A and B are shown apart, each in its own frame.
Chain A
């Protein structure tokens, strides 16, 4: 084989692979869309399930997922941001920082079902929260914390140290510098990271399986102590437990979940774009 042929073959191979990667999300969306078409309607989004989950809408599942994502955001952002600020602004090389980084690395490698069991043991049983929105959100918080911290760290670290030094040289304290200079500059990156992490949380089933996801609710949750339905778990239920659930219906639930996660991710991407656009 001549060198040119090898070159052409290699180029062809990487191009085809890259295109195949592109085809995966497109195919997935198209497949779901086509399959779900017969089941798609407005009432699916805004009404309660009926007929043993085989008919009616999926409003409680959509609402439940939104609650889970919202509460997870509230629970994960403050400690995530605080940890990132500690790691970046106060002790980037200290022994405690190294220990924290090791812990986060370990945490990020744990399978989500293990988080689910941990949540069951600790939040549901030991702390007595019961199977609830709160216990499920806390479990999801554990799952997304490493991601949020990593993103927040990157956002904080992207603020040039020359600006910090200039602020300190003006006689500002470190806390003032973080509050009035670093955080405003890092804010877009922080939002982006949080949104991406929450997209991840929205799609998870295993962590909420034992900690707060409900099979079937006729009412929306009112407090954090109530159980919630969730899109991810609902899809799992439809596929495994409910006999006679129609294929289009399953596809419609999957499509809803996918679009929700995509929407969250694209909000993150748009924010990032706008942020970078303003900088130039």
Chain B
């Protein structure tokens, strides 16, 4: 039942995923495949985009009152199966937040935080920090002040630092929750370029409310509305066929299906 796209197998297969907050269903049954490369998640506010994203690395576990049902296969292993090592899942499936949230530590210690917790020998840390910062396109700007507090960086730099921090534990999938929405246009453009570059090696899933950004990032898209997956497919095709729904449509065609 898995469809190959460009000869690639899906990295994540979501089956009948439902998320409840207390008694209320806030995301309702979603089944979709996510392939290596870029997947953008589109939809109006409150449509379930972020809820879906956070279900992909079990971030809802930490929230009291959140219940997730269904299956999410990461390379054929259900991450919601009993006995799953959740921290291990989160190491493989990283998450970058909407608002840059560096730790109140130095630039270096922010990037080294994950590897240190995972027992990386001290002698490898310099190399990992450098590699991660290079991947995030931040190395040249900070290489002479790695010991400076991270909060002295600009917003855009902080977001790239957070991306470097996420990359430092060598994830296979990177989830990003509107990673550019808190940034000014110039910084947003840099991060956007970075996302496109990362998607060459990783499976990147980006939530955005910016249709133009989705168009530029290309790849595949999932369109959410009213807590349901409305459509999925190649981004350009999806955008041209669902132009009306994405904007401000009130009715919910997904319910009819």
Contact = CB atoms under 8 A, between A and B. Distances in A.
Interface of A: 92-93, 160, 162-173, 176, 180-181, 185, 279
B233 interface: no
Nearest to A180: B117
Interface residues of B, number: 27
B95 interface: yes
Chain B interface SS verdict (over half): helix
Nearest 10 Cβ contacts at the A-B interface: A171-B91, A170-B114, A169-B95, A162-B101, A171-B90, A172-B117, A171-B87, A176-B117, A173-B87, A166-B101
Nearest to A91: B64
Contacts of B64: 92-93
Contacts of A279: 104
A155 to B, nearest CB: 14
A132 B165 CA distance: 53
Given A92-B64, A170-B117, A165 B169 contact: no
Contacts of B101: 160, 162-163, 165-166
B78 to A, nearest CB: 18
Contacts of A172: 87, 113-114, 117
Contact of B62 (A160, A168, A170, A171): A168
A160 to B, nearest CB: 8
Contact of B166 (A93, A160, A169): A169
A102 to B, nearest CB: 19
Contact of A168 (B59, B92, B162): B59
B94 A170 contact: yes
A210 B104 CA distance: 48
Contacts of A163: 101, 103-104
Contacts of B165: 166, 170
Contacts of B11: none
A169 B97 CA distance: 10
A263 B92 CA distance: 51
A164 B162 CA distance: 14
16 contacts: A162-B101, A163-B104, A165-B59, A166-B101, A166-B103, A166-B165, A167-B103, A167-B117, A168-B62, A169-B94, A170-B117, A170-B169, A171-B114, A171-B117, A171-B118, A181-B113
Interface in B165-208: 165-166, 168-169
B99 interface: yes
Q: Which of A166, A172, A173 has the most CB atoms of chain B within a 10 A radius of its CB?
A: A166
A57 B94 CA distance: 66
B28 to A, nearest CB: 24
Interface of B: 57, 59, 62, 64, 87-92, 94-95, 97, 99, 101, 103-104, 113-114, 116-118, 162, 165-166, 168-169
Contacts of B117: 167, 170-172, 176, 180
Given A171-B114, A176-B117, A185-B104, A165 B94 contact: no
Contacts of A167: 103, 113, 117
A170 B99 contact: no
A94 to B, nearest CB: 8
A21 B111 CA distance: 50
Q: Which of B88, B101, B116, B162 has the most CB atoms of chain A within a 10 A radius of its CB?
A: B101
A74 to B, nearest CB: 29
B100 to A, nearest CB: 9
A164 to B, nearest CB: 8
A130 B95 CA distance: 58
Given A172-B87, A172-B113, A180-B113, 4 more contacts: A164-B62, A168-B59, A168-B87, A169-B90
A169 B99 contact: no
Given A92-B64, A165-B62, A180-B117, A170 B91 contact: yes
Contacts of B88: 171
Contact of B97 (A93, A165, A176): A165
